[in-house]
């Protein structure tokens, strides 16, 4: 085969969607051309918002054989792996932390693949070729966020000097429960009773839950969801990162990956949670409500998702970042690793010490979280 040639593209629309998606497949919707294009075309991920697309592509002749989402960032918003302290320390020392390089899905802290390669491409050679994009340039650093375990290992083999930073999320796994009653049966009696009570409270307030997929999500349903999504952010004094145009583009171009959980009161929608789904995993991402209702968030964002997974044969439910309250509802801690290339040795030494100290705290936290899970002990 001919040698690998790397090309940097300033907009994902410069790469044919069919060629991009042929490498990605259907398992992880966030890496698909449609999702990334919706972010750029709607203006959410653009130079105007501090996200400068510089996607890295690998070619052999006329054939696209590798893709890696990549951005030059002028801030650290929308990443969910926080390096503000690193930036502040370096700039106080007289350095320029921004722009930095970032390989991640904007505004989406969902673990999944980042680099997609054709089957015949040597993964080690591909990563070494791509690394030249940030090692030979003027970027202060490069960051790989929320990659899967195997991909993290492969990058560290290609570039052993990458620093690893640990994090934690909470995910639900199907252990052969069969249905929601089977899931409850695996919990302690106290937690079974509490979850049943929470679900009963939602019903007693007159709320009904409805799961809409694909073509069943019309423009009106999406517009209502967006109003609810905005409420969540306005309560914190700002607008959301994503606009209605982004969600409408997803509805039109990626309908098979969407699940909208809608809460209705007297037949009128009053709250909504929008999820995306791959072939094995449900990803809970966005939520909002026009009403204050006891336990509605738990029902719409957790229990409905678990029921959907069990009904569709999905084995994993990633409900989003943060939230120790997920433990009591059967979501177990999952270790995550981000990788970081730091160009200057002085900053790199400081970051390495930080990551080592943080890792000890993360391990202690995971141990405590695992001990708090509500599953029955045999």
List the domains of the chain with CATH numbers. 4-168+334-372 (3.40.630.30), 175-314 (3.40.630.30)
Radius of gyration for the chain, computed over Cα atoms and rounded to the nearest angstrom: 22
List % helix, strand, coil for the chain (3-state, nearest 5).
45, 25, 30
Tracing tokens 């390495």 back to the chain, one arrives at 352
Distance of CA 366 to the CA centre of its chain: 20
Contact between 277 and 177 (Cβ < 8 Å): no
Token reading at 24: 């990605």
In this structure, are strands 55-60 and 63-68 parallel, antiparallel, or unpaired? antiparallel
Alpha-carbon span 319 to 350, nearest angstrom: 33
SS3 labels along 306-346: HHHHHHHCCCEEECCCCCHHHHHHCCEEEEEEEEEEECCHH
Contact between 351 and 317 (Cβ < 8 Å): no
Taking the CB of residue 63, how many other CB atoms lie within 10 A of it?
11
Q: Dihedral of CA 217/211/40/152: which sign?
A: negative
Tracing tokens 């970027």 back to the chain, one arrives at 139
Per-residue pLDDT of the chain (378 residues; tens, 9 = 90+): 579 999 999 999 999 999 999 999 888 999 999 999 999 999 999 999 999 999 999 999 999 999 999 999 999 999 999 999 999 999 999 999 999 999 999 999 999 999 999 999 999 999 999 999 999 878 999 999 999 999 999 999 999 999 999 999 999 999 999 999 999 999 999 999 999 999 999 999 999 999 999 999 999 999 999 999 999 988 888 888 999 999 999 999 999 999 999 999 999 999 999 999 999 999 999 999 999 999 999 999 999 999 999 999 999 999 988 788 999 999 999 999 999 999 999 999 999 999 999 999 999 999 999 999 999 986
> DSSP letters along 345-357, please?
HHHHHHHHHHHHH
Contact between 315 and 173 (Cβ < 8 Å): yes
Residues sharing a CB contact under 8 Å with residue 291, sequence separation 6 or more, in sequence order = 265, 270, 271
Q: Which residue, among 256, 21, 37, 253, has the nearest Cα to 116 in the 3D structure? A: 21
Token reading at 309: 């997974």
Contact between 180 and 303 (Cβ < 8 Å): yes
Query: How far lies 67's CA from each of 60, 91, 118, 152, 322, in Å?
Result: 12, 32, 9, 16, 29
Taking the CB of residue 354, how many other CB atoms lie within 10 A of it?
16
pTM: 0.95
The reported pLDDT for the residue numbered 363 is 97
Token reading at 224: 């209502």
Token reading at 317: 């439910």
Q: Which residue, among 311, 277, 215, has the nearest Cα to 26 in the 3D structure? A: 277
Contact between 371 and 342 (Cβ < 8 Å): no
């Amino acid at each position: 085969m001919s040698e690998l040639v790397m090309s940097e593209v300033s907009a994902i629309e410069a790469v044919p969607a069919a060629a991009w998606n042929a490498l990605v497949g259907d398992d992880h919707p966030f890496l698909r051309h449609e999702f990334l294009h919706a972010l750029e075309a709607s203006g959410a991920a653009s130079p105007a918002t501090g996200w400068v697309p510089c996607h890295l592509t690998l070619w052999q002749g006329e054939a696209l054989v590798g893709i890696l989402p990549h951005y030059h960032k002028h801030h650290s918003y929308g990443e969910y792996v926080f390096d503000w302290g690193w930036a502040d320390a370096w700039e106080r020392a007289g350095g320029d932390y921004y722009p930095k390089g970032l390989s991640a899905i904007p505004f989406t802290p969902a673990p999944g693949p980042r680099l997609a390669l054709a089957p015949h491409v040597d993964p080690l050679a591909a990563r070494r070729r791509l690394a030249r994009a940030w090692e030979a340039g003027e970027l202060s650093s490069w960051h790989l966020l929320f990659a899967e375990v195997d991909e993290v290992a492969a990058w560290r083999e290609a570039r052993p000097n990458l620093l690893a930073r640990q994090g934690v999320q909470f995910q639900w796994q199907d252990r052969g429960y069969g249905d929601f009653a089977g899931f409850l049966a695996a919990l302690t009696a106290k937690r079974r009773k509490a979850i049943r009570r929470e679900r009963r409270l939602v019903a007693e307030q007159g709320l009904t839950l409805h799961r809409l997929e694909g073509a069943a999500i019309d423009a009106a349903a999406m517009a209502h969801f967006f109003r609810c999504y905005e409420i969540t952010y306005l309560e914190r004094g700002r607008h959301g990162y994503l606009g209605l145009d982004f969600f409408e583009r997803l509805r039109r171009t990626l309908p098979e990956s969407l699940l909208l959980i809608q809460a209705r009161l007297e037949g009128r929608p009053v709250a909504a949670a929008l999820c995306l789904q791959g072939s094995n995993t449900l990803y809970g991402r966005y939520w909002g409500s026009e009403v204050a209702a006891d336990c509605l968030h738990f029902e719409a964002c957790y229990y409905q998702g678990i029921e959907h997974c069990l009904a569709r044969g999905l084995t994993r439910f990633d409900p989003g970042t943060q939230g120790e309250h997920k433990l009591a509802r059967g979501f177990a801690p999952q270790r995550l690793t981000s990788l970081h290339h730091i160009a200057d040795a002085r900053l790199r030494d400081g970051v390495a010490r930080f990551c080592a100290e943080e890792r000890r705290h993360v391990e202690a936290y995971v141990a405590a979280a695992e001990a708090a899970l509500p599953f029955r002990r045999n």
